[in-house]
């Protein structure tokens, strides 16, 4: 059965895995990316905005006429970035090689609200960074923002250790207040946490085998983007490759059956020095929030290969 693609807004703190996720989204026939907004996280927001605009100049998706520059800092605390993972430019040092950007920049929260108004429950928002922009949209016009159909959020760590300190996942750690507000908003949300994203990795060998013979433009971009990210994982995790956190969130938006989810009440630890950003969940029978607890790795890997290196 051929369904028409779902309108999607992607909110991103454009690091390396965000860039891979954007490429995957542009190559997913189930999704029609209508807008991209940026948020401070892996890198400062102006860097993230420059990264998205540069990537758009290479990838040319037909449906993204503008980029929304969002929040430059979390709701009520200083920004933490991740240069050790994504490089100081957020893209593993390759951003200077991207062509000069042409896509116009508008206000990020305005753009989120405009899309929410236009598409209502047809709209899926895929949130790949801290949830600051979404919390701001919710605060500014709750009646408009609450109309969105679903948010797919890469965030949280429930039964696995954190990746930013012992308990917190990066996106939630950076802005736990925003995460608490959005996860508690009553909007339908699918959380894609480290529990499942850390089961989905790519390796250097895989990229080297797949890249030749594929679209040279895309494979060159993927290989150069991934270099520093793979080195980081070699040093910290002991494998030459990288976790596909954000690409899994995009894949779940495209094909929800890739993961098994449990309806849950989610609690975010906002303060507490060593617990900041910790997420915990209680299973309930019905909830607006569901948490992915299991992923079909083989299917995801097949989808990632066939779409990212077409
Ligand atoms: C998340 O944090 C960021 O560094 C990645 O882009 C991903 O969104 C993983 O914890
Ligand atoms: Ca991200």
* Whole-number pLDDT of residue 68: 98
Choices 3.40.50.720, 3.20.20.70, 1.10.10.60, 3.90.245.10: CATH for 6-308: 3.90.245.10
* Whole-number pLDDT of residue 264: 98
* pTM exceeds 0.95: yes
Residue 249 has pLDDT above 70, yes or no: yes
Better-predicted residue by pLDDT, 258 or 310: 258
Could you state, in order of their start, the residue ranges of all structural domains in the chain? Answer: 6-308
* Whole-number pLDDT of residue 62: 79
* Pocket flag, ligand 1, residue 195 (CB < 6 Å): no
Residue whose Cα lies nearest atom 2 of ligand 1: it is 170
Joined tokens for residue 20: 């891979």
Question: Cα(301) to centroid of ligand 1, in Å?
Answer: 19
Better-predicted residue by pLDDT, 223 or 67: 67
Give the ligand whose atoms come closest to the C-alpha of residue 200.
Answer: 1
Residue 254's pLDDT band (boundaries 50, 70, 90)? very high
> pLDDT tens digits, residue range 230-241?
999 999 999 999
For ligand 1, pick from 18, 81, 83, 154 the residue to mutate: most ligand atoms within 8 Å of CB.
Answer: 154
DSSP 188-223: -EEEE-HHHHTT-EEEHHHHHHHSTTS-HHHHHHHH
* Pocket flag, ligand 1, residue 89 (CB < 6 Å): no
What are the Cα distances from residue 63, in Å, to 36, 67, 167, 203, 262? 10, 11, 38, 31, 33
Residue 287 has pLDDT above 80, yes or no: yes
In 3D space, the residue among 226, 297, 168, 196 whose CA is nearest the CA of residue 17 turns out to be: 226
Residue 200 has pLDDT above 70, yes or no: yes
> pLDDT tens digits, residue range 24-82?
999 999 999 999 999 999 999 999 999 999 999 998 877 899 999 999 999 999 999 99
Residue 137's pLDDT band (boundaries 50, 70, 90)? very high
């Amino acid at each position: 059965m051929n369904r028409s693609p779902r309108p999607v807004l992607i909110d991103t703190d454009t690091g390396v895995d965000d860039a891979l996720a954007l490429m995957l989204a542009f190559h997913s026939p189930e999704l029609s990316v209508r807008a991209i907004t940026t948020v401070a996280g892996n890198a400062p927001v102006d860097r993230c905005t420059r990264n998205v605009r540069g990537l758009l100049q290479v990838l040319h998706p037909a449906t993204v006429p503008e980029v929304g520059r969002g929040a430059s800092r979390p709701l009520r605390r200083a920004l933490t970035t991740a240069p050790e993972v994504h490089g100081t430019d957020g893209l593993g040092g390759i951003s200077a090689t991207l062509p000069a950007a042409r896509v116009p920049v508008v206000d990020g929260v305005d753009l989120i609200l405009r899309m929410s108004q236009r598409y209502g429950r047809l709209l899926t928002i895929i949130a790949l960074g801290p949830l600051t922009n979404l919390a701001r949209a919710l605060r500014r016009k709750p009646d408009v923002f609450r109309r969105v159909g679903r948010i797919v959020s890469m965030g949280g760590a429930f039964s696995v250790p954190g990746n930013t300190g012992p308990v917190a996942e990066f996106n939630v750690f950076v802005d736990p207040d925003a995460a608490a507000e959005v996860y508690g908003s009553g909007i339908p949300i699918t959380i894609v946490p480290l529990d499942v994203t850390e089961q989905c990795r790519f390796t250097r060998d895989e990229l080297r085998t797949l890249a030749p013979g594929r679209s040279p433009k895309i494979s060159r971009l993927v290989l150069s983007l991934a270099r520093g990210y793979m080195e980081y994982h070699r040093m910290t995790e002991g494998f030459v490759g990288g976790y596909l956190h954000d690409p899994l969130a995009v894949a779940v938006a495209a094909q929800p059956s890739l993961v098994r989810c449990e309806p849950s009440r989610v609690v975010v630890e906002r303060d507490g020095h060593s617990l900041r950003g910790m997420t915990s969940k209680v299973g309930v029978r019905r909830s607006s929030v569901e948490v992915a607890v299991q992923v079909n790795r083989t299917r995801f890997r097949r989808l990632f290969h066939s779409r990212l290196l077409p």
